[in-house]
Amino acid sequence: MKRLMDIAPAGTVKKSVTVGDEQIEISRIGSKRVVRLLARYPELGDLMSGKKVAPMRLIEIAADAAAAFIAEGCGYHDNPDAEAFAAELGIDDQLALVEAIALATFPNLVGPLIEQLKSRVEVFLAELQKAEASPSGETPPTD
């Protein structure tokens, strides 16, 4: 039987993702860093747990949260320059990186997590359409 320090720590599981013409190395994000990301973007935790989140707030944080997640998964912990760089990648490249990092970080949860997020995004888009259709231009209250 192995002891705790004999097994690979979080960052040692490496995979590669094609971005443009290059292979980018990614790794899973350890729980401490995931918690730190959720502390920065608590609305994402709320969204995953089924709580309602104001659509405009999600729009405000989505790009920054994705960039932070990508930077962490590429080994740049708390690095504003890496986050800024990740934010400027094309959306297809960002999605490929987020998906690969999520699969590495949550190997047993990604399928259900992705389905849950898709469901939440559908609700979010419906609420956003309601807000745009509101005659006064104000966002209708949410529960």
Quick: pLDDT tens for 25-53. Answer: 999 999 899 999 999 999 888 877 778 88
53: nearest Cα among 42, 43, 38? 43
| CA within 13 Å, CB half, 133 | 6
Q: What CA–CA distance (Å, rounded) separates 37 from 7?
A: 25
Is residue 45 a contact partner of residue 34, using CB atoms and an 8 Å limit?
Answer: no
Binned at pLDDT 50, 70 and 90, residue 86 comes out as: very high
Binned at pLDDT 50, 70 and 90, residue 57 comes out as: confident
